[in-house]
Structure 1
């Protein structure tokens, strides 16, 4: 719902440029369909979105270096808004988003990991605005094309991590209009602590976005714990759009696939609000990681 503002929902929060620090080639597939329920002034509305498939492959190169390439959705611009009164019916519908194709290089020093990453951003979106009044109807269609870039770097130790993202821009071009708009993506600093507390592996992350002309400067945090194959996390995620606040719970469980790799199932629950508008989001996730098949072939 709130993706109608700015350039959409930022799906890259709490994302850092680190990879698994072993000697295995890994191919990962991730799928995130979502269910949304909107509530405002006693009215409910439900929606379903099938999001793009995420893919990545990481390959150990030499002397502790690992190269990773992949794609993920950076901004989601899907929305479906309907409103009516005695005289006017309004329907705003949008689809599309901005994809992120990234190249990441990581170096494992034994005591820690240093990583750098660069991303090419691209995408398309379209919006249909429909107005109905009495026997009259008006439909406006808008189509946008996006292109941009962003860079990040970080260092991770077994007890802490620090990452920085910056130099990001996105240029938006509207079809049939000779006018381009450039958005400066907020710079972002992430600090993490990962202590071992008895049988529990804990994670605490703080993230600050440095706002620009197009965004505010929110402070975000995440608290998570993992024991064995089970994990749980709480996220507080104020958006870069003023007034939008999000609370989220993540639950996941992983399963080893003998001779293949591993799979994990997750459930993400989100609650968002802005003034009197509420949005509830349920996102089941499926991750499949292939790595043991490459080890077997090397042998």
Structure 2
């Protein structure tokens, strides 16, 4: 079996290194030249939470400009798309000519990008992976650091008839994190999006670490509001949500001022962040610090956009989305005061 991972950053690099360590045939593809050159010369390193080196592997890594050379090699059986959501279309189009006739493509990303992949690769070949509780960061060229103690992956198909391939994909990913095949792909993916909506944008907007964000009264309140709105939008869309990190019924109850619900969710937020590295920042906050575009369109922006379509108030998500866009354009600087302005 030949495997390709398009996007060898935090998540693609983390899974790629572990799959390579297991002895599978993996080709990594990335757009950052310095990262590609470092990995070619020194290998790909993954550090644990305490900064200790967990593994270093020699990896077959190609720059996107080298991909056309794959025409002289056997086709890929499984391709993972691990780029940012806004890069999904070109990444899928880039690798499609090198996919075997019976090969499959799986999203290893935030948000719901399987529809875009399916528009190019076909729904019968498209799969999605919902990653839960795993936090990683590409610290520098060639170096990925893990920030969470545990993680898991749920693998599902766009076409429900293709469950057998879900088992194959889960088997590959199981070399890195506990992975299972599921039937309810969109429900589980939206459930993960709830967590991203209440955490990623807040850290990007405020500059806070996960621990700072989940122990500050203002960002706790706003985070609960963002999460409750995301749950309500998902349910209005008819998705079968599953509690991910929090009881979603309890999370929704916080929106009406239920004191017991607020106490339970506050405690759970602190518990989750307390188990992670103290300097952990979610992906959107990492992007802001590096001066890169974030995935706000595919997270808080998506919740707000679909909320309008189904008549559910997602105004807090819209305000966070607009604020992050202004930070991306250089009109604002990340600050906790921005969260206070929304609350």
User: Structure 2 length normalisation: TM-score?
Assistant: 0.26
More strand per residue: 1
Structure with max Cα Rg: 1
TM-score (norm 1): 0.29
